[in-house]
Structure 1
Amino acid sequence: MPLTPPITFLREFLHRPAELGTFIPSSRFLESRIVRLGGLGEDSVIIELGPGIGGTTRAILRELPSTARLIAVELNPDFIRPLRAIGDDRLTVHHGSAEDLPEILAQHGLASAEVVFSGIPFSTIPAAAGQSILQCVWNTLAPGGRFVAYQLRSRVKQLARGLMGDPDEEFELLNIPPLWVYRWVKEAGAASKVVQPEEGLIAV
């Protein structure tokens, strides 16, 4: 008998806690805050990194214009089936790593994205992997694009500072556990740069 999505989420947290960060899916309050900060427009390309079983994915789709497209990139193979079961024509589920984001977009005939959402727990993955993902996000964002990351700790802010600068910050209490939500905006004409993994890291 197939497991229901919440049980699948809990099982995967017990097997791979560093990949998930928490064993409880996002609350509707957190989902609403994340979507609002992303700002979803017509004809947009939206990327979601680490969608899990799809709670935030569904929240994005509820607000997504009919002409926009959502690419959900999930590393855990056990989450692919629940994500594909959402069954929305605007949604493409890609089984792969966020470190391959430029190649993933090219594979789907896309050059850039207006919004990137991320639930990847940057505080529990190696710093080099975290900065590699952030570099890919930065390179993927179109001018004026937004990167929204929801996190238990502030590690992502430290990892991204040399590349993206300081983010806007909000705190969502109505979630278990309460989470920080960070947003960076890539200004038009922002220069490309590469930040080495050892630059500016603070253990948090």
Structure 2
Amino acid sequence: MAKGKDEWLFAINFVKHPTMLGSVIPSSRWLIRSLLAPVDWERARYFVEYGPGVGTITRHILKRMHPEAKLLVLEINDDFVRHLNSAIDDPRLVVRRDSAASLGTVLDELDWPHIDYAVSGIPFSIMSSEDVEAVLKETRARLPPQGEFLVYQFSRHSAQYLHRSFDDVSREFVLRNVPPVSCYRARSNGGIGPSEAPAPM
């Protein structure tokens, strides 16, 4: 029943805000498997998810992460924020109605020292370049050397932003999703990001 309610709410919001979601149905299990495959669940203690929607990926992170870990989700859609607060009962989850560009401010308020993994499906392709760069700058600044930014995108052009901001970016294409999607794993070697982007993957 919960899954049906999730899909119904997701579909309603797709009709209202189609460019913000990119798909009429939530992420498939194959997308989630590929996206979260790099996570070291035993080590990681601080997670953040941008644009969790109805919480499809959120629930998978909560199910797998360490009992002492914490998950912050940043969502700007009021319907989704209310749904997440009412549908998921887990003391490790922090739901905030904030944009991903506000990450640093929110982490300072929560007194989190860093984030081990950032997970995101917000569509870079419909955002301004300035907004995308702000999100990536905030994310990179809060990731330690072993931290990673795990991203799924429907537009391959989005990869150029990741290549400009991170030193090491890999891609896996997931066909079994509607629509098919690219999952990226972005890591930094420390210091300032590359000044020039290599060809998008």
Cα pair 1:116 1:147 within 8 Å, conserved = yes
Q: How far does residue 166 in structure 1 lie from its aligned partner after superposition?
A: 4.5
Q: Which residue pairs with 1:177 in the alignment?
A: 179
Post-superposition Cα deviations, 1:44-88, rounded to whole Å, max 9, x if no partner, equal 100000111000001111111101111111111110122122111
Q: Which residue pairs with 1:167 in the alignment?
A: 169
Say which SS state the counterpart of residue 122 (structure 2) adopts: coil
Q: Superposed, which structure 2 residues align to 1:60-71 within 5 Å?
A: 60-71=61-72
Q: Which residue pairs with 1:113 in the alignment?
A: 115
Cα pair 1:115 1:145 within 8 Å, conserved = yes
Q: Superposed, which structure 2 residues align to 1:20-169 within 5 Å?
A: 20-42=21-43, 44-84=45-85, 85-169=87-171
Q: What is the rounded CA distance, in whole Å, between the counterparts of 1:120 and 1:174 in structure 2?
A: 19
Q: What is the rounded CA distance, in whole Å, between the counterparts of 2:59 and 2:36 in structure 1?
A: 10
Runs of 4+ in 1 over 3 A off after TM superposition: 192-195, 199-203
Q: Superposed, which structure 2 residues align to 1:4-15 within 5 Å?
A: 4-15=5-16
When normalised by structure 2's length, the TM-score is: 0.89
Aligned length: 196
Compare 136-145 and 155-164 and name the one that shifted more: 155-164
Structure 1 position 191 matched with structure 2 position 191: yes
Post-superposition Cα deviations, 1:2-23, rounded to whole Å, max 9, x if no partner, equal x932121111111112221212
Q: What is the rounded CA distance, in whole Å, between the counterparts of 2:40 and 2:150 in structure 1?
A: 10
Q: What is the rounded CA distance, in whole Å, between the counterparts of 2:129 and 2:167 in structure 1?
A: 17
Ranges in structure 2 where 5+ consecutive residues have no aligned partner: none
Q: Which amino acid aligns with 1:170?
A: E
Structure 1 position 19 matched with structure 2 position 31: no
Q: How far does residue 42 in structure 1 lie from its aligned partner after superposition?
A: 3.6
Taking only the aligned residue pairs, the percentage that are identical comes to: 32
Q: How far does residue 194 in structure 1 lie from its aligned partner after superposition?
A: 9.4
Q: How far does residue 31 in structure 1 lie from its aligned partner after superposition?
A: 1.2
Structure having the higher helix fraction is 2
Cα pair 1:48 1:117 within 8 Å, conserved = yes
Q: Structure 1 residues 19 and 201 mapped into 2: Cα distance closer, same or farther (>3 Å)?
A: farther
Pairwise CA RMSD of aligned residues?
A: 2.2
Compare 33-42 and 98-107 and name the one that shifted more: 33-42
Q: What is the rounded CA distance, in whole Å, between the counterparts of 1:104 and 1:192 in structure 2?
A: 23
Say which SS state the counterpart of residue 92 (structure 1) adopts: strand
Q: What is the rounded CA distance, in whole Å, between the counterparts of 1:86 and 1:77 in structure 2?
A: 16
Ranges in structure 1 where 5+ consecutive residues have no aligned partner: none
